[in-house]
Amino acid sequence: MKTFVLFIGFVLFLSVGYAQTNCEPYVPVDKGSVWEITNYSAKGKPTGRIVHELVNKVENANEITFTIKTITYDTKDEEIYTNTFDAKCSNGKFEFDMAVKMDGGALKAYENMEVTVDASKFEIPSFNSPSGSSLEDGSLMVKVGTGAIAMFKMTVLVTERIVEGKEELVTPAGSFKCIIISQKVSTKMMIRVRGSSKEWYAENTGLVRSESYNKKGKLMGYSELTKITLN
């Protein structure tokens, strides 16, 4: 677990990683690469998009750290959030930060206030991992405010993470061979909301598709890789 403090004019979104010789990258590996994820409602209506750019890559022994910049756009295609974060693959393990599970829109009202984030790591396993493999849980806790006074609190727990298998997906960005991961998701702000999600990841690319479901298994929305330009 790690704890860090930031002041938001931006929002945390995604952290991913890569290792030097024995870790498969689930992110574009060349500086200047740009890719775009579009969010949709359950009925397929666009609800926003997030543009990612790999702005730096640093190699150190058996660890490689990527720095990724994200710009989030709303339904009117107006820029609403910007963030730069690090992602890492170390000792053969590919991980990103659980801050990926944080909905930045929930923090828009607290722009320029102090935010404390306690986020665990979130592993994406080797592409060759067998179906049924279990993965470690993830957790995220967010607090807005100082001291004992919290204006906003959010907790996200991701549990029962399982490798579902492999699948080739075709999106507007191309065709991708993906590993599929399913998990239970519990989010608490004012009330606790339980559901589940399924995610597709491709090597040298990252997230290709994700689907969110409520506790009854009804699709609530999905995201898809719609553009990618490798430098």
pLDDT at 73 over 70: yes
**Among 188, 196, 228, CA closest to 215:** 196
Report the chain's mean pLDDT, rounded to a whole number: 83
Distance between CA atoms of 139 and 180, rounded to whole angstroms?
20
Determine if the pTM surpasses 0.85.
Answer: no
Q: Are 83 and 59 in contact (CB under 8 A)?
A: no
**Structure confidence by residue, pLDDT tens digits, 192-207:** 899 999 999 999 999 9
Distance between CA atoms of 94 and 91, rounded to whole angstroms?
9
The pLDDT assigned to 159 comes to 95
**Structure confidence by residue, pLDDT tens digits, 16-54:** 333 334 778 899 999 999 999 999 999 999 999 999 999
Domains defined along the chain, listed by start: 2-229 (2.40.360.20)
Q: Are 185 and 195 in contact (CB under 8 A)?
A: yes
Structure tokens at 178: 């993906």
